[in-house]
Amino acid sequence: MTTETITWKGRFGPMDLVVGDDTFRPSTITSLLADALKIESGDVVFDVGCGSGILSIIAAKLGAARVVGVDAAARTVEVGTANAVAHGVDDIVEIKEGDLFEPVDPGLQADVVIGDVSGIPDEIASASGWFPSGLAGGPTGAEIPMRMLDQAKERLKKGGRLLLPTGSLQDETSILARARARFGKITQLSERAIPLPSSLAEDPAVTRMLRDRIIALKQRGSRFLWTARVWEVEA
């Protein structure tokens, strides 16, 4: 595996992180989640779609008693564990490779779930190059997040919280409807407009999904923007 070192400049940064060929790099949504993350001393945290493990590291630094990070990308354990060791939280953070909650002990429940799973339509993800592992969110970008929501209901303690990122570059309406159906209460914590590269804005998949109202963009001058949001869902 080829690795490189990148620098996280968000919460608790700067921090150097090792990433591999298939590792999802921290993004604007990662920064939004990091800023919104609240941990009580002693919390058990599941970081689903952990990528480099940066949010797992932050959760540990905020006082979590145990953090389990999971990602389906190859070499997740190697990369995430190396970063946990480098930042002194490997006694708290455990990284597992697999699909959503599948690698986590079925008897373990979380106080907090960070649900940062791939949420971009497959065709747009392929055109963007943002997902080096090739793992995206399904045909509309809602399929994997909704499956995560279904499973999270059983993995959260009563009174637990799920941090859910969504964006207008996916079928956001369906994701939020599923969250409300499964959990009831959902609160928006933050949002940010993000420029879409012009080459991607002109991609046929983007044009078609805009026409079909699966995704939504705003135009500001010559630029197109999509909106990222973070929600808190209460069990």
pLDDT in tens, the chain (235 residues): 789 999 999 999 999 999 998 998 999 999 999 999 999 999 999 999 999 999 999 999 999 999 999 999 989 999 999 999 999 999 999 999 999 999 999 999 999 999 999 789 999 989 987 877 667 889 999 999 999 999 999 999 999 999 999 999 999 999 999 999 999 989 999 999 999 999 999 999 999 999 999 999 999 988 999 999 999 999 9
**CATH number of the structural domain spanning residue 113:** 3.40.50.150
187: exposed, middle or buried (Cβ count in 10 Å: 0-12, 13-18, 19+): exposed
Confidence (pLDDT) at 232:
98
Domain membership of residue 210 (yes or no) is no
Domain membership of residue 158 (yes or no) is yes
Domain membership of residue 211 (yes or no) is no
Domain membership of residue 203 (yes or no) is no
CA angle, residues 96, 9, 112, in degrees to nearest 5 = 40
Domain, as residue range, for 173: 9-192+229-234
Specify the number of domains making up the chain. 1
Confidence (pLDDT) at 66:
98
Domain membership of residue 139 (yes or no) is yes
Domain membership of residue 85 (yes or no) is yes
Compute φ and ψ for 15, nearest 5 degrees.
-135, 130
pTM above 0.85, yes or no: yes
Half-sphere exposure of 147 (CA within 13 A, CB side): 14
Cis peptide before 14 (omega within 30 of 0): yes
Domain membership of residue 2 (yes or no) is no
Domain membership of residue 178 (yes or no) is yes
